[in-house]
């Protein structure tokens, strides 16, 4: 899974069908260009891979004649909708991958029910905590002289601590009812209160 694939599937879920340039504009509108280096070429490359994997299909072009070259439009398939949820869940629960995947997952977390997001983020905290302990315990238990290399471990440990703290804070905000999550829109539109099955 890559952040690019997740974001393209999210864009196609919302747009219905689009060509690569429209997807890029949609992602820029969402502010993705601020934190992810998604270029037009990477969008077309990912679209090709998603198409080969059966997650998107070519869609009939609904636009009238244009003066530019014909563009292939794509739409998400049923398998793509399933993959979107799988990729999103991976992005929210993973702890050792590219930070852009986590950021993409957080940007799309409202597409899942509150309880599921809390569960996934809790898995992330558990994984980070275990991984941190394994790495830090090695250098703390060793009699070897780590010299300046210990600074790399200290940097890694502080980065892990920061990720644990931030994720724990987000879990608490979600438990307090921050953000409107999937399945909650109707309740809020009706003026009702959220139930405890968040």
Q: Under a CB-based contact definition with an 8 Å cutoff, are residues 62 and 48 in contact?
A: no
Return the pLDDT at 154.
Answer: 87
Is the confidence at residue 61, as pLDDT, over 80?
no
What pLDDT does 107 receive?
A: 94
pTM of the model: 0.85
Check whether 194 has a pLDDT greater than 70.
no
Contacting residues for 4 by C-beta, under 8 A, at least 6 apart: 36, 38, 42, 43, 46
| Per-residue pLDDT reduced to its tens digit, 136-156 | 887 777 757 778 888 888 899
Which of 30-34, 97-101, 112-116 is most confident?
Answer: 112-116
Q: What is the structure's pLDDT at 103?
A: 94
Provide φ and ψ at 57, rounded to 5°.
-130, 160
- CATH number corresponding to 3-104: 1.10.10.10
Alpha helices in the chain (DSSP H): 3-15, 20-29, 32-35, 40-52, 78-93, 99-108, 114-141, 150-175, 185-189
**Whether pLDDT at 78 is above 90:** yes
Starting at the earlier edge strand, list the strands of the sheet with 17-18: 17-18, 73-76, 56-59
**Predicted local distance difference test score (pLDDT) of residue 187:** 58
- Tell me the domain boundaries of the chain: 3-104, 112-189
Instruction: Give the pLDDT score at 139.
Output: 74
**Nearest CA to 12 among 45, 65, 59?**
59
Handedness of CA 59, 75, 12, 3 (dihedral sign): negative
Between 48 and 40, the higher pLDDT residue? 48
Task: Give the pLDDT score at 192.
Answer: 53
More confident residue, 51 or 191: 51
pLDDT digits (tens, 9 = 90+) for 101-111: 999 999 999 99
Report CA-CA distances (Å) from 106 to 14, 109, 174, 190: 17, 5, 12, 26
Q: Note whether 194 and 115 are within 8 A (CB).
A: no
């Amino acid at each position: 899974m890559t952040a690019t694939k997740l974001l393209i599937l999210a864009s196609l879920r919302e747009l219905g069908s689009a060509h690569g340039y429209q997807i890029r504009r949609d992602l820029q509108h969402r502010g993705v260009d601020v934190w992810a280096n998604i270029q037009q070429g990477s969008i077309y490359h990912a679209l090709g891979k998603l198409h080969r994997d059966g997650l998107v299909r070519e869609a009939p072009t609904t636009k009238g004649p244009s003066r530019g070259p014909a563009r292939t439009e794509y739409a998400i398939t049923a398998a793509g909708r399933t993959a979107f949820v799988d990729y999103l869940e991976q992005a929210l629960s993973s702890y050792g991958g590219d930070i852009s995947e986590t950021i993409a997952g957080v940007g799309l977390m409202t597409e899942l029910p509150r309880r599921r997001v809390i569960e996934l983020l809790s898995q992330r905290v558990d994984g980070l905590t275990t991984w941190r302990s394994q790495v830090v315990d090695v250098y703390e238990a060793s009699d070897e002289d780590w010299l300046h290399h210990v600074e790399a471990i200290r940097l890694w440990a502080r980065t892990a601590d920061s990720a644990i703290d931030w994720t724990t804070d987000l879990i608490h905000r979600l438990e307090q009812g921050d953000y409107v999550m999937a399945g909650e829109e109707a309740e809020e539109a009706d003026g009702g209160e959220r139930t405890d099955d968040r």
